[in-house]
Every structure is written in structure tokens, then in C-alpha cells.
Chains A and B, each alone.
Chain A
Amino acid sequence: MGEAIVITSGKGGVGKTTTSANVGTALALQGKKVCLVDTDIGLRNLDVVMGLENRIIYDLVDVLEGRCKIHQALVKDKRFEDLLYLLPAAQTSDKTAVTPEQMKVLIDELKQDYDYVIIDCPAGIEHGYRNAVAGADKAIVVTTPEVSAVRDADRIIGLLEKEENVESPRLIINRIRNQMMKNGDMLDVDEIATHLSIDLIGIVADDDEVIRASNHGEPIALNPNSKASIAYRNIARRILGESIPLQPLEDDNPGVFSKLKKFFGVK
């Protein structure tokens, strides 16, 4: 019996789908059997980020309305040997086509076969959010270092705390721009973590590679050289229960002098 983790944020555009794709990929890289579930019915795009769009035959609404079996709708990711699957959302229906009770049954069924079920939640706190949370055991809240995103994260944490089936949520701070944070133009990591007062499970730097990779349908987590990729892999390992310290935020291009200093171990 696996566990279901919902990835949510309240605010749109903070990177829920990217995070879902990469955390799922990173967990599969660790040898876990993972199923990604896109619950953003009507505005699906987890399939695009994963590069699986053209393999979709059936979707989540087809499964719930009995037009097909679950295994027929699941799209297998060829890059992994039988480890990573995606259950795509419907593009033609809307969020009211699904009820939270139906979602709970579906997720419980998926948990039988997979180690991790990663649920990508739509933005907002209405019907779509309730569908996504209904079957979840754990929650990860994604935010960016912006006041508006943190405000919405706070709201969503409050709502998640009321859900009896969900354990206390954990936090990912996404799109960190080190230089702005240093200058004090952006909320810093500690400030956000104390403000929201939930466990921080990872921080991800703002990296152009992430967008490039998403556009190619290749989750960044597959590329071992990128900083964002390492961040996602670390998050996956923390989900598995390892304790790994947070990556220090460094500039992308350290000068020769500071490289030398690092080399000699001078602080």
C-alpha cells in the first residue's frame, strides 16, 4: 500500500505541475513505483510537461464514468522501466464532472499498485482543490518568495489542516532568485518558513533550464547537471525519509577568486 501526496499551492503559476512532474520523476529514479495524477480537469498540462501528451487515449473522467479500466487510461513513461505512469486529466469536461468521493475511491485503488501517487492539484480552493485533496494522505505546498504566493500558501495550509485524512503539510519554496534574496528584494527562505511554520522539505532555485526542459517534455530531474534537478532529487529523498541538509544557494557563476577560495577551503 503506497501513499498519496497532493501537490498544491492555492495560487496559480508557482510551479505545482513542474514540481509534480519532477518529484514524481525523481522518485522513479530512486526506484519507486510512481503514478502521477493530473486533477486539473479542463486545463490539463502535466502530460505536456512530461512529454506524454500524444499517447493519451483515455483520461481520468473516462475512468470515473466507467468508459474504461484504470490501467487502460494510465500512460506509461518509456524512459522508465515500468516505474512511472501518468493518469491524465480530461480536457473536454470541467471540474464538476468529478466528485471528491469518486476521487477518493480512485486514489485508494491506485495506492494498491504504486508506492507513490502524486496528485497535481489545480489552482484555487474550490471544487478542483477538494477533488485533489480528497484521496491524499500527505500534502506538499509549493510557494514562491512573493508575498502573494506566501499569502495563498498560508490560506491553503489552513484548509489542509482541517482535512482529517491529510497529515500536516510540508513546504517547497520554488523559483528562488539568490541575488534578489541577498539584496533583500525578496522574502528570504527563513522568513517564509517561520511565517508559515510548517516543515520545509526543499528549496528550488529559479533556473532557465527548468522552463527549457518543460518545453521539451523532459522533466529537469532527468538532467543530473542542473541545480534544480539536484534540488528535486533531494526532495524525493527527503520524501523517502532520508535527512539531507538544504543545498546552499550560490550564484550560478562564481568568480575565479571565490572558486579558488573554495578550493583552499577559505570561507
Chain B
Amino acid sequence: MKKFQNVTIKGTKDGLTLHLDDSCSFVELKEELDRKLSESSQSREDRLISVHVQVGNRYLTAEQEEEVKDLVRQKKNLVVDSISSNVMTKDEAEKIKKENEIVPVARIVRSGQILQVPGDLLLVGDVNPGGTVIAGGNIYIMGALKGIAHAGFNGDKEAIVTASIMKPSQIRISDCITRAPDHYQEDEKREMECAYINDLDQITVDRLQVLMHIRPNITRLEGGF
């Protein structure tokens, strides 16, 4: 009687792909994985072969992932490149959702106040001098930015800051910081501008309209109009 295989190995031009069945127990799976890999790793080649592991609808904890990686690594010249799964925990899903969400806030961020959101921030109001807004993603300010704005808080260098009136005391994007000139000209309007990190890894302030060319991925609308 032939048993259904829990581990299937496929060769691709990028290396090996291991398809691990998601209906058997994890212990069974490990045993079979160990056996299969011992049989097949006969090659005498020296170069490393990268392995992609696909676990289907099985959820692996961080420890289990480590176990799988260890198993593969024990075999000669195999190294785990990635582990992909169709499932994730609710916490992870919520985190991803929050990081990709635009949070609208209607208020004035006053001196000494800090407003922080994990995703994009849409502020309907002003940021007064001494106030700070922080976002994991982009910051869009419908009023005047006179305080500090920090976009891409978790290291996203693609993040941008826009404001209807751009007179910030500081703009920070990811780990770059720029500060305002010591004096704004009286008649300077600074209307409808955006700030982004340019090719030289410095923050540049420019007209709002340049964004569609340098950061096309801001658009999330799918399809045409």
C-alpha cells in the first residue's frame, strides 16, 4: 500500500521548492522531511542550493519555522531562502491592515502634543509649532504644518509628507531629518507642497504635482478612470 507523500520536492531554476503537506502532524512531517532530504542530498556539488519551503494552510510558529530551517540546514549545501504559508494569525493580519490604512483625524495638534498612527495619516487641521505628527506611512495634512512631521517612522524611505501650507520646523522621513530655514519670508506662501527623500538621500520639498511622477505607488486606485 503506497502512502500519500507529505513532502514533495520540486526543482526550479532558482533552487528547490519543498511542498509540505498541511494535513499531517508536524512531527510526522519533520520525520519525512528528514528522510527525504537525506536520500536526495547525494550530490557532490559544492555550491549552495537555496530552498523555498511552502507549507500550504499550516500555521508555523517562529520556533517551528526554526526547526524546519535547522533540519534543512543540517543537510549538505542546502539553505532555506524563504518559508511561505497561506495562513497568518489575526494579530499579524490586523498589524498589516493598520500599516496600510489611512487614518483620518480632525483636530489641531498643539504644542507639546504628539499624534502617532501606524499607517498613513490624513490630518484635517493644523500642526502648530511644537506639535508632532508621526506615521508609519505617509502624512497628508489638509491644514498648515508648522511643527514636526515624521513619515515612514518604521524605516520606509518611500514615505512622503504633504501639507496645504508647508512651514514645518522639521521634517523627518525614515532616518533623514531636515530643518526649516531660520526665517520664513513674510510673503512666502508655501502652499500645496510635498516632501520626499531624493536620490541623494536628502529630503526635498517641491510642488505637490511632482509626486505622481516620483511616487506613483501612492495611487491605490485600481483600474483607470
Contact = CB atoms under 8 A, between A and B. Distances in A.
A44 interface: no
The size bracket of the interface on A is: 10 to 19
A155 B186 contact: no
A38 to B, nearest CB: 26
B191 to A, nearest CB: 15
A184 B111 contact: no
A261 B112 CA distance: 49
A151 B113 contact: no
Contacts of A195: 126, 128
Interface string B109-120: 011110000000
Interface string B129-143: 111000000000000
A158 interface: yes
A197 interface: yes
A184 B130 CA distance: 23
B49 interface: no
A244 B141 CA distance: 35
Nearest to A160: B110
The 3 A-B pairs of least Cβ separation, nearest first, read A158-B110, A155-B111, A154-B111
Interface of A: 151-152, 154-155, 157-159, 161, 184, 195, 197
Contacts of B108: 197
A102 to B, nearest CB: 27
B130 A151 contact: yes
Contacts of A157: 110
Contact of A158 (B112, B126, B186): B112
Contacts of B110: 154-155, 157-158, 161
A145 B11 CA distance: 75
Contacts of A161: 110
Contacts of A151: 111, 129-130
Contacts, number: 27
The size bracket of the interface on B is: 10 to 19
Contacts of B113: 158
Contacts of B186: 184
A195 B108 CA distance: 10
A155 B130 CA distance: 8
6 contacts: A152-B111, A154-B111, A154-B128, A154-B129, A154-B131, A155-B112
Nearest to B112: A155
Nearest to B147: A154
Contacts of B128: 154, 195
Contacts of A152: 111
Nearest to B126: A197
A184 B186 CA distance: 10
Contacts of B129: 151, 154
A197 B112 CA distance: 16
A79 B130 CA distance: 45
A154 B130 CA distance: 9
Nearest to A159: B112
Contacts of A159: 112
Contacts of A184: 186
Contacts of A158: 110-113, 131
Given A154-B128, A155-B110, A155-B130, 14 more contacts: A151-B111, A151-B129, A151-B130, A154-B129, A154-B131, A157-B110, A158-B112, A158-B113, A158-B131, A159-B112, A184-B186, A195-B126, A195-B128, A197-B126
A157 B108 CA distance: 10
B190 to A, nearest CB: 15
Nearest to A197: B108
B162 to A, nearest CB: 21
A38 B100 CA distance: 51
A212 B151 CA distance: 52
A184 B126 CA distance: 23
Nearest to A10: B111
